Amino acid sequence: MTRFAAPIAEQIWDMKYRLKEADGTPVDGTVEDSWRRIARALAAEEKNPEQWEDRFYDALADFKYLPAGRITAGAGTARSVTLFNCFVMGTVPDTMAGIFDMLKEAALTMQQGGGIGYDFSTIRPRGAMVHGVAADASGPLSFMDVWDAMCRTIMSAGSRRGAMMATMRCDHPDIEAFIEAKSDSARLRMFNLSVLVTDAFMEAVKADGSWDLVFDGKIYRTVEARDLWNRIMQATYDYAEPGVIFIDRINEKNNLSYCETIAATNPCGEQPLPPYGACLLGSINLARLVDKPFEEGAGISDEALDGLVATAVRMMDNVVDVSRFPLEQQAEEARNKRRIGLGVTGLADALLMMGLRYGSEEAAAKTEDWLKRIARAAYLASVELAKEKGPFPLFEAEPYLASGTMMEMDEDVREAVREHGIRNALLTSIAPTGTISLYAGNVSSGIEPVFAYSYTRKVLQKDGTRTEEEVVDYAVQMWRDKFGDADLPAHFVNAQVLPPEDHVRMQAAAQKWVDSSISKTINCPEDISFEGFKNVYMQAYETGCKGCTTYRPNDVTGSVLSVSEKTEATPAETPELAQEASEGAEVVYMSEPLDRPQALEGATYKLKWPDSEHAIYLTINDVVIGGHRRPFEVFINSKNMEHFAWTVALTRMISAVFRRGGDVSFVVEELKAVFDPRGGAWVQGKYIPSILAAIGGVIERHMIAIGFLEGEGKGLKTDPTAKVVGLETGRPGKACPSCGQFELQMVEGCMTCMSCGHSKCG
C-alpha cells in the first residue's frame, strides 16, 4: 500500500524530494526511506539519537509534519546545500565597491538554493551627486537590473532559479520609479517588489497630508501622500506588484526589537529578517490531524497538536546546527538567534472537515484558536529546549519579554521564559506551501482557501503523448470516499467565490499568533472597483496584518485558472465546482521536428566582438507556415578556434528548439541575460554583458525583422503554428517555465504550477 494520497503526490516526491544518485538511480526506495533519512540526519544532534530518530520519524509519517522542501530534499544527503529557505542579505552600501560585494554574496547564496531579500533604500537616488568623480548617481533601480541579470544565470538547488525580493521605503526619492518598474513586463522579472510603508505615511494618507521624499537627511521632493498611495495601488491593481509591507508594525512586534532592525523580507514576505538574517520553515498539516472528519464532534486533539508541535520545534532547532550556510555572516546570525518559522498547511481543508466556511467569523475564530495553541506549544517547547541546551546567545529576559509579541503571550508562558530563557528567538511563520501541499496529497496550501476542488492535469508520458488525470483536493476526496457522489455541502467555498474581505479576515486572525509574518494572496475579482481594491489594503492595515498581497486577474496578469459553478438549485446550496482552463490555455507544439525543406529563406549577420581577432557570423533561416515566417535553424561560425566547441553546441541546441515550434522567444531572453564575469563590451553605444548576450540580440533583431516579434520588450505576435484546443471561456494565462503547461496559479504571492509543482519562490 502506498502512503501517497494521490498520484501527483508521488510524482512530486520522486521529482523533487527523493534522494537519487547523479545518474538518476534512486537511493530512497520509498517515501518511508526519505522520512528515515531526514529523521536520522536531524537526530544526529541529540545525545540519544536513536530515541529521537524514531520520534522524528513518527512526526514525519503520513505527512503530519512537513519540513520545507530544502530540508526534505537536502537533509542527510551530504550535499553542499543550505537547508534554510530564507535569507535577507547585508545592508547594501552606497558605494560602487560595496554594491558589487553584495552582488557577489547574493550569487553565492542563490547558488546554494537560498531565496534572498534586499532593501535597496540605502542606495542614493538617481541624479544625486557622486562626490569625487563629478558624476550623477544612476539610482537603485539601475543596480536592481544588474541583480536581475545575475539571478537569471544562477540555478538554485535542483532545477529552480533563485527568487528575490526587493524592498524600498515609501520616503525614498526614487519610490515612484520603483512603484512603476513592473509596468515594463520585461524588467525585473526575477524580483518580487514591495514598498516599506510606515505608520507615519499611512496617517498622512488618511489625513490627505504632504509627504517628504528624503535621502541621507536631504529632502529631494514633497508629494501628496494620498497621490503616492494611489500610485502604489494603481500599479498593484494593474500589475499585481508592488506588495505592501507595514514595516513599523513588523519592527514593533519583533521579539528582537532590542537588538535588530528589519528593513527587508524573504521573497514571499513571510519572513521579515535583519541583515544576513536566515530562517528555516516547516508546517503542521492540519488536514491530517482532524478526528471524525465531516461528523458531529469533528476536531483536532489539543494533546496531539501540542506533541507534534514540540517535536517539530526540536527538529527545526537541530536544522540550525546541521545546515550549511552560503556565508559565514548568515551562519553567525542564525546561531545567535536560532530563528525558526513553524507554520501550518491544510487549514482550509481542516475547516471544511469541521463544517466551517472559510472566511466566516466562526472559521476565523477557529483559526485564531489553532494558531494560538500552536504558538503556546512552540514557545513552551523552546523553553524546554533552553533548559536542556541553553537559550539563544542574544537572549535578554526583560527586553525580550517587553517585545510586542511577548506582551500578548499568556502569563504562564511569559513566566517560563523569564525563569529559563528560550532556545529560539522567533518560532512561527506561515510560508508558501504549494509544492509540499501537493506532496502531502493536495491539501489546501498554507492558510489559503481551496483554489479548485478538482482539475485535470496533463501528464507527459515517455513516448511524448499526454494523458489526463484528475487532481482532487484532499478534503473533497475524503468527502467522496465517505459519501460517494453526494453533493458538496454549502460551506464548501473556494478562492474564486470568496470576497476579499473574507481573505483579510482570515489573514488577520492568523497574524495575531504568528510572530513573524504570513505569505497570503488575497484574490480579488477582476471587476472590483479601484476604491474597493484600495479598501482591501486599508482593511489589512487596520486589522493588524503585517503586509498585503493581492491578485486581480486582468489582461496583464492573466486569468490563470478559472473555476465555474454549475448549480441545480441556488449557488449557496449545491455547488458542483469544476475546473475550466481558459481559452487558449493549452498550446499544442509540434510533437516532432519538421522535416527540413530543400531551400529556406534566411539572413546572415556579422558580429564583431571588441578585442576578438575574428568576427562571428550568424545565419538564421526561416520556415514559412500559413504565410508567416518563423525561425527554423541557426548556424554560428567563427575562424577563432577557441569558439568552436560552444558555437557548434549553440547551433545544435538553438536549432533543435526552433524546430519544435511554439513560443521560442525565451531563447533570446536567456541569451541576453548571460553576463560574463570578466566583463562585457560596448557595442554601437550599448553595453552588452557577454558575447552570448550579443548573439541573443542578433537573433532578436532577426525575429523582429521577419515579424515574429513585435519589437524589443513587446513579446511575441500570434504564433501561426499554435493551435488552441478545447476551452471556451476565460483568458489565457502564462505558460509554466518548467513544463510548459498553462496551469499556473497565484498561491501565497507566488506563481505555482498545478501540473508539475514548479514555483518561482521555492
- Residues identified as active-site: 266, 268, 270
Of 9, 39, 82, 85, nearest in space to 432 by CA? 85
Determine phi and psi for 119, rounding to 5 degrees: -100, 115
Residue 559 DSSP code: -
Percentages helix, strand, coil for the chain (3-state, rounded to 5) are 40, 20, 40
Rounded-to-integer distance, Cα 427 and Cα 639, Å: 61
Whose cell is 566547441? That residue is 645
Q: What is the CA angle 21-26-737, rounded to 5?
A: 80
Say which DSSP state 80 is in.
Answer: S
Contact 330, 418 (CB under 8 A): no
Question: What DSSP line would sit under 635-681, residue for residue?
Answer: EEEES-GGGHHHHHHHHHHHHHHHHH-S--HHHHHHHHT---TT--E
Amino acid at 528: I
Q: Is the CB of residue 547 less than 8 Å from the CB of residue 504? A: no
What grid cell was written down for 672? Answer: 541576453
> For residue 617, what is the DSSP state?
E
CA–CA separation, 708 and 372 (whole Å): 56
Label the pairing between strands 218-224 and 210-215.
antiparallel
Q: What letter does residue 387 receive in the DSSP assignment?
A: H
Rounded Cα distance, 95 and 75, in Å: 38
Spatial CB neighbours of 555, under 8 Å, sequence gap ≥ 6? 731
Cell of 714: 513587446
User: In angstroms, rounded to a whole number, what is the distance separating the alpha carbons of residues 280 and 269?
Assistant: 13
- Return the axis-axis angle of helices 225-239 and 530-542, rounded to nearest 10°: 110
The whole-angstrom separation of Cα 762 and Cα 754 is 14
Q: How far apart are CA 196 and CA 119, in angstroms?
A: 9
Q: How far apart are CA 140 and CA 759, in angstroms?
A: 27
Q: Name the amino acid, one letter, at 746.
A: M
Query: Residue 415: enclosing H or E segment and its boundaries?
Result: helix 411-420
Beta strands in 441-513 (DSSP E): 454-460, 466-472
What is the distance between the alpha carbons of residues 89 and 572, in angstroms, rounded to a whole number?
48
Distances (CA, A) of 50 to 53, 388, 539: 5, 18, 50
**Residue 442 gets which letter from DSSP?**
S
Which strand (E) or helix (H) includes residue 155?
strand 155-156
3-state secondary structure 241-254: CCEEEEHHHHHHHC
Using CA atoms, how far apart are residues 126 and 130, in angstroms rounded to an integer? 10
CA separation for the pair 762, 744 (Å, rounded): 14
* Cα separations in angstroms, 481 against 15, 368, 474, 475: 28, 30, 11, 10
Helix (H, G, I), strand (E, B) or coil at 520: coil
Angle at 208 between CA 206 and CA 210, to 5 degrees: 120
